[in-house]
Amino acid sequence: MSRVLRNRGDVSEATRQKVLEAAKALGYVPNQIAGSLASQRVNLVAVIIPSLSNMVFPEVLTGINRTFDGTPLQPVVGVTDYLPEKEEQVLYEMLSWRPSGVIIAGLEHSDPARAMLQNAGIPVVEIMDTDGNPVDAMVGISHRRAGRMMAAAILKEGYTRIGFMGTKMPLDHRARKRFEGFTEGLTKAGIEIEARDFYSGGSALAKGREMTAAMLDRSPDLDFLYYSNDMIGAGGLLYLLDEGIDVPGQVGLAGFNGVELLQGLPRKLATMDACRSEIGAAAAQIIIDRSALPEDADPGEPARIALTPTITYGDTLRRTQRR
């Protein structure tokens, strides 16, 4: 087994594949550190996120980096593109270098990835989400709660004919959970979503314009559009303004994430703060605190930190006649 995992020795390809599959199922990861250092760990922390193009995660990384500043720990980033098989690969490679901890986005992982995390023997912090069962520690928000909160705010302002647009679904489990919470909140009030559109690509202004135009062409009577993120929401806003549609009087809008880059829009998009920097900082602090413990010390119960998002109403949620 050792020769296979180190890619050494005369081993047939069929045998090599069987050994690798068995190791993967057990969550075993070889140690890439030289033998003389095998009992030690490096001062690196594996940070595994789904995307760098999504503006959400650079803010999380900022929170992590600021908290590690002044400590020996350094974050090393791996990107999964929301693909479970790529997450397995990134996690496998990073754990082979025996980092001091892992910060990984989301609670949903493949069985091999979960096995690797459980067997790593280092602090693991799953971030961005609290709707599920973590391997170890977790820091995030409840996305189902966030969806219910937005549904309540929209209904309170009198909107009843509602459409939803989401990207990276179903691969983005957090967007899926917001949608589930949102529909749950509406259903309890006797309201059904009248139109929905899911797109597997990334977040972009152009895509938001395109999706909004198509949805309103199919369902011109909609009076509110809820987007899974601010970028496509901003594209929708620009489309409506170009078309001369009264926002928020005729059609209201809301996104998610509170992206600061969009503050310069002609109208301030209603959104929800996802506590991104705070999540990164809290996750890094857990790693720092756990790494400072002696190896034989009992770390106690793993941290479970649930932050509370807040709604920013902006200029696109409240109806003009109610101001």
Is residue 261 domain-shared with residue 232, that is, in the same domain?
A: yes
Is residue 172 domain-shared with residue 118, that is, in the same domain?
A: no
Residues in the chain: 323
Q: 188 pLDDT band (50/70/90 cuts)? A: very high
Q: How far apart are CA 19 and CA 25, in angstroms?
A: 10
Is residue 135 domain-shared with residue 153, that is, in the same domain?
A: no
Q: How far apart are CA 124 and CA 103, in angstroms?
A: 6
Q: How far apart are CA 25 and CA 173, in angstroms?
A: 23
Is residue 299 domain-shared with residue 318, that is, in the same domain?
A: no
Q: 323 pLDDT band (50/70/90 cuts)? A: very low
**Residue 182 domain-assigned?**
yes
Is residue 152 domain-shared with residue 104, that is, in the same domain?
A: no
Domain with 249 in it = 143-273+311-322
Is residue 59 domain-shared with residue 133, that is, in the same domain?
A: yes
Say if residue 9's pLDDT is above 60: no
CB 116 within 8 A of CB 147: no
Say if residue 321's pLDDT is above 90: no
pTM of the model: 0.84
Q: 36 pLDDT band (50/70/90 cuts)? A: very low
Is residue 166 domain-shared with residue 235, that is, in the same domain?
A: yes
Q: Residue 104, class by beta-carbon neighbours within 10 Å (0-12 exposed, 13-18 middle, 19+ buried)?
A: buried
Look up the CATH number of the domain holding residue 107: 3.40.50.2300
Segment 48-74, tens digit of pLDDT = 999 887 778 989 999 999 999 999 999
Is residue 41 domain-shared with residue 181, that is, in the same domain?
A: no
CB 277 within 8 A of CB 60: yes
Is residue 124 domain-shared with residue 210, that is, in the same domain?
A: no
Backbone angles phi, psi at 265, to 5 degrees: -65, 160
Backbone angles phi, psi at 45, to 5 degrees: -120, 120
Is residue 125 domain-shared with residue 248, that is, in the same domain?
A: no
Is residue 80 domain-shared with residue 127, that is, in the same domain?
A: yes
- Count of structural domains within the chain: 2
Is residue 316 domain-shared with residue 287, that is, in the same domain?
A: no
Segment 97-149, tens digit of pLDDT = 999 999 999 999 999 999 999 999 999 999 999 999 999 999 999 999 999 99
pLDDT at 115: 97
